[in-house]
């Protein structure tokens, strides 16, 4: 599967899920209540949107990591190198064609668990300070 097609499909699904719930308000109680909050419906859509977004970030990280590999022996910033090490702990550099399904799932887990953010924070003290504030 072409990973960027997966990312585009997930982004498109998020656009559909982001449809404003307020436009679906219906009158109830014999038209005595002309507005019914759709907050619960809107909130329930947030979980799949977050999961889709984590998948998209995971795919983007895989692509960025591979791009960095093409520029070796050059090195990036320490924070990015820390993230790259984490990416490479679950997804080796792609030196020949292979399925990326397992890599995408492993990266999704790292993103959803917050491991990518923590790896960056350890390298950038200002981000640690923001988290503690």
pLDDT of residue 129: 73
Q: How many domains does the chain have?
A: 1
CA 103 to chain centre: 14
For residue 109, the model assigns a pLDDT of 96
Task: Please identify every stretch of the chain with a pLDDT value under 70, giving residue numbers as ranges.
Answer: 1, 22-37, 132-133
Q: What is the CATH number of the domain that holds 38?
A: 1.20.200.10
Tell if the pTM clears 0.75, that is, is over it. yes
User: Which residue, chain included where needed, has tokens 């109680």?
Assistant: 29
Q: Which domain holds residue 73?
A: 3-132
CA distances from 58 to 15, 73, 95, 106 (A): 18, 24, 19, 9
């Amino acid at each position: 599967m072409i990973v960027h097609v997966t990312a585009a499909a997930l982004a498109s699904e998020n656009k559909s899920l982001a449809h404003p719930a307020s436009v679906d308000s219906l009158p109830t109680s014999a038209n005595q209540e002309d507005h019914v909050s759709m907050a619960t419906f809107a909130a329930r859509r947030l979980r799949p949107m977050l999961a889709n977004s984590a998948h998209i970030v995971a795919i983007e990280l895989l692509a960025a990591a591979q791009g960095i590999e093409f520029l070796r022996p050059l090195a990036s910033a320490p924070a990015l190198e820390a993230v790259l090490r984490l990416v490479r702990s679950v997804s080796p550099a792609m030196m020949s064609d292979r399925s990326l399904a397992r890599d995408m799932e492993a990266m999704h887990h790292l993103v959803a668990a917050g491991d990518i953010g923590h790896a960056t924070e350890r390298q950038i003290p200002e981000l640690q300070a923001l988290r503690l504030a």
